[in-house]
Amino acid sequence: MTRPRIAITGIGIFCAAGSDVPSFTASLLEGRSAIGPVDLFDVSPFPARIGAQVRDFDPAGHFDRQTAAHLSRADQFALIAAREALEASGIRRHRDPFDIGVCVGAGAAGMIHGEQWLRERVEGKPGHPAQLRGLLPDRAATVLASHFGLHGYQGSITTACSSSATAIGWGADLVATGQLTACLCGGTDTLSLLTFTGFNSLRVVDPAPCSPFSLGRQGISLGEGAAFLVLEREDEARSRGARIFGFIRGYALAGEAYHMTAPEPSGSEAARVMGAALAAAGVSPEEVGWVNAHGTGTPLNDVVESKAMRQVFGERVRQVPLVSTKAMTGHCLGAAGAIEIAATAIALGAGTIPRTLNFRGADPECDLDYCHDGPRPSTAAVALSNSFAFGGNITCVVVSR
């Protein structure tokens, strides 16, 4: 049986690069980086003191006091982005809540609050138990389901930096197989001391704004935010007159079975998953206009991703730009995949290939087209979004306009 096409009928984004789809789109198409000083916690002990923090965030602008008090920062971001996606889709006016599900790619969740509890315990204080409320990664899915009254499904994918790409792929599966009529899927994550100290301890954080695929890059810039999509079957979306922002054409996921933190160095495993995603989507490599890279800016990862590109696209590889939007959004970890898939759909719709910001010079090992020189007009109808994660977890998603 032919798999139905899965339409994106709603997009919502809340991150440092934009507090909604219009502002995020402007940053994306105009090439504005959101990386700057971090003051969410004390970063003074670290050489890298920057990140893509959502600045001046006041929950009171979005929630009443009682609601806000029960939500972690990650839950709040999720609710804001999900509301925009749901309102854009109008899905709740058209479908039974038992047929709409929620699938969240989760990261550190409420760790920023939980670590405050731990700090107080280490200092011999009792710690306030409310700080632990949002600690588990499933909290956002539960909050979204209950807040918006979605009864159909509740799931949280935790595959580190590929979490929300996997959540979107899985959401598309649930809709394509008829288990749900619609799925709100995406991801949310916030800066936390855990990830800030952890990545710094691994010495993979760049003291300057990250510069994917550039000479002299030293690593990532961390970020935070949330992005959600509403997915439906194309025929059902059209039958109710929904606006279609694009399509999730297919995806693939795998474990490299190589190393917890290092990518398989030849790029063959990453290439295998990229190829499998294209095959699942029924898309040939020749149809792909550009690739939204995982593109963290770490010295090794960028080289491996470039190697994988060569294996997938062969002689055509220099005609397929490999673009990293992380120099704009920072690496939003659990939310990264969803933000990048949303960015891919937006850019495809706008007929623009985004720019990879912060170019510092050409790296001979990264010799592809990374759109370092600026955004460019494109007639591409199909793009691939890559997400690579701790554990060797890889998810690649094919998006089309």
Partner 1 sequence: MSGQNLDIAVTGLAAISAAGVGTEPLRAAVASGTSRLTPLPEEILGEAGHRWGKAEAFRAADFMPPLKARKFDRCSLLATVAAGMALKDAGIDLAGTDPSRIGIALGCGFGGIANSVELLSGYFSKGVEGLVPMLFPNTVPNAPASNASIEHGLKGPNVTQVQRFCSAEAAFQMACRFLEEGRADVMLTGGVDELNAPMVQGFHAMGQLRRHARGFGEGSGILVLERRRDALRRGAAVRGTVTGIRTLGFVPPDAATEGKARLVGTGTPDIVSLSGTGAELPWLREGLAGDRIEIGPLVGRSLAMGGLALVTLISLMPEGAAGLHLAASPEGPFFAIDIAGGSPG
Active site residues per annotation: 161, 294, 331
Give the amino acid at 392: G
Q: Binder to partner 1 among 55, 146, 216, 235 (CB under 8 A)?
A: 146
On whether the CB atoms of residues 345 and 382 are closer than 8 A, the answer is no
**Nearest distance from residue 199's CB to partner 1, in Å?**
8
The rounded distance, in Å, linking the Cα atoms of 308 and 271 is: 5
Instruction: From 82-90, 221-229, 344-352, 390-398, give the range in contact with partner 1 by CB under 8 A.
Output: 390-398
193 part of the interface to partner 1, by CB under 8 A? yes
| Beta strand 36-37 pairing with 225-233 | unpaired
CA distances from 107 to 16, 53, 82 (A): 17, 16, 16
18 vs 152 by CB, closer to partner 1: 152
Residues 370 to 389 in contact with partner 1, rule: CB under 8 A: 389
Closest approach of Cβ 242 to partner 1, in Å? 21
Window 166-185: residues binding partner 1 (CB under 8 A): 166, 170, 173-174, 177-180
Q: Which of residues 234-293 bind partner 1 (CB under 8 A)?
A: 252-261, 269, 272
Which amino acid, one-letter code, is at 369?
A: D
The contact mask relative to partner 1 for 85-114 (x = CB under 8 A, - = no) is -------------xx-xx---x----x---
* Beta-bridge mates of residue 400: 247, 382
Instruction: Compute the chain's Rg from CA coordinates.
Output: 20
In whole angstroms, the minimum distance from the beta carbon of 89 to partner 1 comes to: 17
Smallest separation (angstroms) from partner 1 to the CB of 200: 8
Closer to partner 1 at the Cβ: 58 or 123?
123
The span of 60-68, 154-162, 219-227, 362-370 binding partner 1 (CB under 8 A) equals: 154-162
- Half-sphere exposure of residue 99: CA atoms within 13 angstroms, side-chain side: 16
Specify the residue, 23 or 116, whose C-beta has the smaller distance to partner 1: 116
State the Cα–Cα distance between residues 74 and 108, nearest whole angstrom: 8
Q: DSSP secondary-structure letter at 263?
A: P
Contact between 362 and 333 under an 8 Å Cβ cutoff? The reply is no
Neighbours of 373 (CB within 10 A): 10
User: Rounded to whole angstroms, how far apart are CA atoms 84 and 62?
Assistant: 12
- The piece of 10-18, 75-83, 122-130, 282-290 that touches partner 1 (CB under 8 A) is 122-130
Q: Report the site for partner 1 in 59-78 (rule: CB under 8 A).
A: none
